[in-house]
Amino acid sequence: MDITSTIQSLLSASSDLLLSRLRARERILSLARSLITTLETPSERIFRLAFAEPASFALIRTAIDLSIFSTLKSAHGNPVTVTALASPKSADPVFVHRMLRHLAAMDVVKETAAGEYASTAFSDALTEDRYRGGIIYTHDVLGPSLRTLPAFMASTNYQNPSDPADGPFQHAHATKEPFFGWLAGRQEYLMAFNQYMGGYRQGKASWLDAGGVFPAEEMLRLDETAERENRVMIVDVGGGMGQDLLELRTKHPEVKGRMILQDLPAVIDQIKNLPEEIEATAHNFFEVQPVKGMSFKLTSLRHPSQTN
């Protein structure tokens, strides 16, 4: 698609967005990316891929450790000096200033004056568990797998990875444990992973939306006998913090029957204040499913990064 056609398609998609048509936002994002990559020179694209975005990611991760986004948010939009942002962790203001100049250039924060910064909607979002956890997990756990992928593939003569205990993840983290076993032994990353999963689909089309990817209304119907006997209606296997079942309960309050949430014990222990209709139970999905005769089993829709 040439530049003129892309711009025309963007204008058309913008009208769809104003009319709240399904997937209009995603189409605009796709077209905008296409426009950028068409306009970029090769050297500009290499710079973006090799420096601008990796540096931004690493500095966001560092800023989380320094509580910079929390400090900016607590200022309620007012500018905060570099000295004040550096002080909670006794960081070097010179380093903090260098870091924030890059983050301002990447629209993560706003530079309001020399040595003063204010929050943005994105930096405020990074104070929430689901987004902060997403940065911690993707940078510390997923990131090394991607950064060392070329070396791992070269070591296998570019064979398709098939062993869950010997892949890019294990190579990057110097382990022979499968991904979920490794994660279960590291509480900070397990928590970050589940926080990320809890917010991953935020703003995206849901599997429960009418006309979406799954015939939810048809599949979630129960007969009268099942309702009367209070049978298990749905089991969410590896359901994290219960976000899918909570959405189901909100969008389809008429659905009857018991809802079972299953995940590893360390995940279940983190969950607070689930409604009584959702039963949270510890279960490893590599073991035999203990719930029999359910009307529907949901293996939660997860990001591909979960299947290492």
CA distance 6 to 2: 6
Burial of 100 (0-12, 13-18, 19+ CB in 10 A): buried
- What is the per-residue burial (b if ≥16 Cβ within 10 Å, else e) of 232-269? bbbbbbbbbbbbbbbebbebeeebbbbbbbbbbebbbe
* 8 A C-beta contact, residue 77 and residue 59: no
Instruction: List where CATH 3.40.50.150 sits in the chain.
Output: 216-300
Are the C-beta atoms of 76 and 40 separated by less than 8 Å?
A: no
pLDDT in tens, the chain (308 residues): 689 999 999 999 999 888 888 788 889 999 999 999 999 999 999 999 999 999 999 999 999 999 999 999 999 999 999 999 999 999 999 999 999 999 999 999 999 999 999 999 999 999 999 999 999 999 999 999 999 999 999 999 999 999 999 999 999 999 999 998 899 889 899 989 988 987 766 666 677 776 666 676 676 665 455 555 567 888 899 888 888 898 888 888 877 778 899 988 888 888 888 888 899 999 988 788 888 866 555 554 443 333 33
Q: Which CA distances in Å does 50 have to 42, 57, 136, 141?
A: 12, 12, 20, 20
pTM metric for this prediction: 0.78
What are the start-end ranges of the H helices in 19-112?
Answer: 24-39, 42-47, 53-65, 68-74, 82-86, 93-105
The reply to whether CATH 3.40.50.150 applies to domain 216-300 is yes
Return the ∠ at Cα 141 (arms to 283 and 95), rounded to 5°.
140
Q: Which among 229, 288, 228, 292 has a CA at the least distance from the CA of 260?
A: 292
CA atoms within a 13 Å half-sphere pointing along the CA-CB vector of 87: 7
